[in-house]
C-alpha cells in the first residue's frame, strides 16, 4: 500500500532528523497518513457491513 510505504520513508527521515521542529513536522505527517489508513479501514468495514445486509 502506498501510504504504508510513505510512512516507512517518513519514519526513516524521522530517525535521521536532529532538528526538533522538523521532527515534529515529520511526525505530524506520519500521523496524518496513519489517520488516512485508519479512515480507509473504517470505510471498508462499514461498506462491507452494508453489502452483507443487502444480501440478507
Where in the chain are the domains? 2-54
Q: In this predicted structure, what is the pLDDT of residue 11? A: 98
Model confidence, pTM: 0.79
Are the CB atoms for 14 and 23 separated by under 8 Å? Answer: yes
Q: Per-residue b/e over 34-46, b at no fewer than 16 CB within 10 Å?
A: eeeeeeeeeeeee
pLDDT of 4-53, one tens digit each? 999 999 999 999 999 999 999 999 999 999 999 999 999 998 888 766 66
Q: Which residue has the cell 506520519?
A: 30
Q: Which residue has the cell 510513505?
A: 6
Amino acid at each position: 500500500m502506498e501510504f504504508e510505504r510513505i510512512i516507512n520513508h517518513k519514519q526513516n527521515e524521522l530517525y535521521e532528523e536532529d532538528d526538533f521542529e522538523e521532527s515534529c513536522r515529520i511526525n505530524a505527517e506520519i500521523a496524518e497518513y496513519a489517520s488516512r489508513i485508519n479512515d480507509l479501514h473504517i470505510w471498508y468495514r462499514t461498506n462491507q457491513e452494508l453489502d452483507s445486509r443487502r444480501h440478507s
